[in-house]
Structure 1
Amino acid sequence: MRRRLINSTLAVVLVVIAVFGVSLVAVESRTIENAAHDRVHAEAVRLLSAAETKLAAGVPVTAASLAGQLDEGAAVVRTGPGSAPVRLGALPGGGRITATVENDAGASATVYQSRAGVNSEIGRNLAVIAGVALLAVAAAVLLAVRQANRLTAPLTDLAETAERLGSGDHRGKHRRYGVAELDRVADVLDVSAERISKMLTAERRLAADASHQLRTPLTALSMRLEEIAATAATGEPETLREEAAIALTQVERLTDVVQRLLTNSRDPRTGLAVGMDVDEVVKQQIEEWRPACRQAGRAIVRSGKRGLRAVATPGAVAQVLATLIENSLMHGEGRVAIRTRVTGTQVVVEVTDEGPGVSPDLGSRVFERTVSGRNSTGLGLAVARDLAEADGGRLELVQQKPPVFALFLGREADQH
């Protein structure tokens, strides 16, 4: 493309130079020729006038009397019809310019001058025109190269940007080139890069959230299956049925988590909030985590107001509580306590333990992704907060030591 732009620009300039240059040469040559003929004619008129003046004064017209009247070239003067010609100077060799002037009395003067001066002047003008043409061609080459670089460099840069997008580098350059069409392409590439980056970020976040949200119910299900295996060994069918029922509930919860992840990946604003029994979810979580607490030599208890109903997604609330309980088991100490209460139009579920709490350097940053007090993923509390906000609630750290996490949910309207 660069070579084509340079060649096309040079072709246009050469055509313009050829058209106007030839015309200019023709005009200048004609002008020089006409000026030379006018000078020779003027010499002939002046010479004839001098001869007439001498005749009128009775002075013989001879080569000697007219010697100072001719500047260059040669001349022939006749004083009348049939008179002897008076010759002045030597005829120039080669091409000549001739002019003859005659009066009413029959006297005439013919002047001959060489064309060498005319040809030399025409040659000088041709050299000037050729020099100007060469300068124009050189300027055209520089301009063509500059314009070609101005157009091809942005195209090369845009091609590199597109290649980077295809290779996984989704950072936009935000570079503009002063050419409307190229700037439009750059805008589209930057917008596409930003859109691709957001899509990949959303996909990575979904994968991270899915792995974390599925890990907790799978862990609980694994513990419950271990309980079932242990119960089956003792031969207690009633306890076995009870443990199996709890395990089925956990499978349903796992299915609900998967469904919610798929729904949120399509449209994060889509909510499944309904009127739910808070006691039922709290009870289910206590039963689910009691084996883990017992295995860790710790207890899990509940207190506070009973019979509360909130507007939320049961599976999401269960996931948030599971994350808080797991967080207490991992980072806390002593008894894990769940307390329910009411404040205004909201139902509050608090989870606390008797550990050292959240360090001051973490503070409110504990809900940020990748922020963790120990060697964990740092996703748990961030995901739990997102789940709470998706139902119109919120998750807060209301006390750092001992740690108290509070889940605020909208209270069902017809509840007193």
Structure 2
Amino acid sequence: MRRRAIVMTTTAVAVAVLILGIPGAIFAMSLSWHQTQSELNDRAISVASVVDRLDKEQTHITARLLDRMTEQSREDLYIEVEYPDTVVVVSGENPGEQSLHAEVFSATGAVVCVALPRAVLIRSMMWMGIMALGLITLAFAVGVLVALRQSRKISAPLIYLAAAAEQLGAGKVRPHIKKSGIEEIDLVNAEISRTAERMAGRLAAERQFAADAAHQLRTPLAALSMRIEEIEYLSDDPAIAEEVHKSLEQIDRLTGVVDELMATSQSEAGGTTEAVSVSRLFARQDDEWKKAFSRAGRNLVFDAADVGAVLATPGSLAQILATLIENSLKYGDGTTTVRALRAGKTAMLKVSDEGRGIDAEQDEDIFEKGYSTGGSTGIGLAVARELAEIDGGRLELTRRTPAEFTLTVAAVPISFDPDRILPQGAVLTVGARRTRR
């Protein structure tokens, strides 16, 4: 956009300068030529009047008087007065044929000729052309500077508008938008703000509904658990006891899902995506998990590369990454590698190890709530995927053997300055991991 504005403005300035400047310079040169010719005619008429006045006194004009008249106008002027009696009086140097001249006949029959060398006039016109060319160049330079300044005024609000739209698309429902002073851009800004407000209201209503549903489910589940435990105490039948244990296990899993639903609804996920520094996130996770991997005799390697920052909810991003690392520690083997890659407008956080991997039939099941191959509640990956989707990202199993999980999130454009475009204090670090099931 900025380049187009510069090209359009400079083109308009160039066309205006060429259309007005060059014809103006030619007109000025032509005017100078005609003005000089008019001055020669006026000077010849003036000399002829002096000749007529002196003729009444029966005397001829002298060369000294002509010299004085020449000095009053131009030093390079040539004046010649030829009387009918063949007397010729001259002043100055005869320029010959290469001259601009004017001839006038006096009332007494004398011929007055006034001439000026063309070289003098041509030299004057050349200086005039050089000055015109300089003014044209100056006008074009000023036009380019104005184009650069105006393009910045136009492109900067568009960059901020793009950043706000990207934040809105990534889940931040309250992007910081400032008025630009350009009516059309401010109208789009206002519409984005209204859209953000509507999205914030809908997300708030959804979170409230989830919280109410979770709260309403928690009490019946607690009562059901107590009733089943009471049945276990009242019966000595081993079959009944086994069924009671299975029922309680299912209730515990359902309670865990309800708790996660409550935690998600009460969190600010999906409404407060911020620019999170990947290198700082990796440093925090390394500090948190390196002792656990060391006790297990395994290595944990982080590689943040040059990804910069990503748009995500800090707590959710930390929980997703910690879930993947914890699963790698529990079910994987060898060195666990956590690396970040940039792909256009997105960033990919990959967690892989050197274990035997995941069976083909378990590709999608591992993300289902309650599914587990190691005796856990089986909701860690399910919640991690939900948190990723809430922030506009996705969590996938990109390789089965050895296992590799990839979290794809929106990346903050490198050309944007987070401190200017994103909210104040935009590049955030993340706190300690939250408790996971």
TM-score by length of 1: 0.50
Which structure has the larger Rg over C-alpha atoms?
Answer: 1
Q: Which has the higher contact order (CA 8 A, sep 6+)?
A: 2
